[in-house]
Structure 1
Amino acid sequence: MATGPDGTSGATDIVGVDAAVAAARVLADRPGLGMLGIVGPPGAGKSTLAERIVAELGDTACLLPMDGFHLANATLDRLGRADRKGAPDTFDAAGYVATLRRIRAGSEIVYAPRFHREIEESYAAELAVDPATARLVVTEGNYLLLGEPPWSAVRGQLDACWYVAVDEALRLRRLVNRHLGYGRSPAVAHAWAHGSDQRNAELVMRTRAAADATVQL
């Protein structure tokens, strides 16, 4: 059963990055391999938070972003889903769940894909989770708390799952700037952030109540 940062059930608030890092250390210090999920809408800052936690904890922690399980662009084109990349059915959700289960088993090194936003594709087997050294695996993404299968199986693999909350106007500005940074025109960047991204964000926001804690950024 998933728990909050203090090891108990029930939602709590973790205010700020430093408090989140301290709470993650508690999880890492528990016996066995821990699995922490960080969820939030696009642009909330979950990747930044996850990377900070892993950096602060050092070699005992490793990062496993959900984004590595994006379907390839060619596959999205074939399925007719390229115009809404980032929606739940544009990921290999079953593959993500299977990877979490293999990591949870803790019997072997598990290799996983990593998403490269500059080319909008993933490289296979770029990340490695070694149970001999890892004490905490931090996995972050949009749909860790989604109730529909196969996404619904993610929650059972996590010891805790924290929701990242941020000012909505700031989140939207970040998204527009992200799209601009990767070569989209201002019009396209605005349309994507307020269109497809926003629909995904609203879906993620509805899962907030299922989180063990909220991290305010």
Structure 2
Amino acid sequence: MDTSDLSGLTARARGLALAGERRILGIAGPPGAGKSTLAGRLVDALGPLAVLVPMDGFHLAQAELERLGRADRKGAPDTFDAAGYTALLRRLRAPEPGTVVYAPAFDRELEEPVAGSVPVPADVPLVVTEGNYLLYGDGAWAPVRGLLDEAWFLDLDQDVRVRRLVERHVRFGKARRHAERWVARSDEANARLVAPGRDRADLVVRPASGAPS
């Protein structure tokens, strides 16, 4: 399915929201595929039926990455609190009446996670979550797939995706040459790890190449 058919994707997500109890839709894919854009559009279209909880809120803080010696590959699977993300998904699957769960978000200007940023009221029927590693089957990420009622994988042309990534890094302050090196060394290594997750998805979505990431 193509993301140009936003109405079809929204209808599919709406079906999950109207299933009668809390559902979680996961949108996975490599860096730069357009996950956050699609997730945001779905949640906007569904209004009070859905809330967006990004996986990126579970990035480890920069100070901790430096302490662990992982700052030069920020975005790799072990630079997130995967166990914390999994624990949040379990909590979101079993909402307590009258209780608001607060999820973290990631501030791209600060390049840091920010706790308590996303309120998830118990009566919202659909949680949309997006990130690179939702369908990654190794280590602490392995339980995530089983906590998703439905999983989509965004499969964008590599050249378009790489170009988007470079432009995103430049937009948020990296010099272009540094951005190109970072994408080639770090983002594309992560993309190769994510690729096999395509086979674990319920739906493969092919974003329109001209759409923003």
- Which residue number corresponds to residue 4 of structure 1? none
Between 20-29 and 79-88, the greater mean CA deviation after superposition = 20-29
| Match of residue 80, structure 1, among 36, 47, 69 | 69
Aligned residue among 165, 169, 173 for 2:159: 169
Q: Which amino acid aligns with 2:136?
A: L
Matched, 1:193 2:180: no
Aligned to 2:139, the other structure's residue is in SS state: coil
| Offset, 1:150 | 1.3
CA distance in 2, matches of 1:43, 1:18: 22
The alignment-based identity, stated in percent, is: 54
Deviation at 1:21, TM superposition (A): 1.3
| 1:189, distance to aligned residue in structure 2 (A) | 0.6
Structure 2 letter corresponding to 1:146: Y
Instruction: Work out whether residues 22 and 94 of structure 2, in 8 Å CA contact, stay in contact via their aligned partners in 1.
Output: no
Q: How does 1:96-115 map to 2 (within 5 A)?
A: 96-107=85-96, 108-115=99-106
TM-score normalised by L of structure 1: 0.91
Q: Does 1:137 align with 2:127?
A: yes
Please report how far the alpha carbon of residue 149 of structure 1 lies from its aligned counterpart in structure 2 after TM superposition.
2.5
Does the 8 Å contact 1:20/1:215 carry over to 2? no
Between the aligned partners of 1:105 and 1:145, the Cα distance in structure 2 is 21
Q: How does 1:1-217 map to 2 (within 5 A)?
A: 14-16=1-3, 17-107=6-96, 108-132=99-123, 134-217=124-207
> C-alpha separation between the residues in 2 aligned to 1:150 and 1:129?
24
Alignment partners' CA distance in 2, 1:88 and 1:20: 28
CA distance in 2, matches of 1:145, 1:53: 20
Render the CA deviation track for 1:181-209: whole Å, top value 9, x for unaligned.
11111110100111100000111112110
Output the CA distance in 1 between the equivalents of 2:125 and 2:94: 13
SS of residue matched to 1:195 = helix
1:35 shift after superposition: 0.4
Q: CA RMSD in A?
A: 0.9
3-state SS of 1:180 partner: helix
**Could you report, residue by residue, the CA deviation over 1:58-92 in whole angstroms, capped at 9, with x for unpaired residues?**
01100000000000000000000000000000000
Between the aligned partners of 1:122 and 1:56, the Cα distance in structure 2 is: 26
Aligned length: 203
Q: Read off the aligned partner of 1:26 and give its amino acid letter.
A: G
TM-score by length of structure 2 reads: 0.93
The structural deviation recorded for 1:18 is 2.8
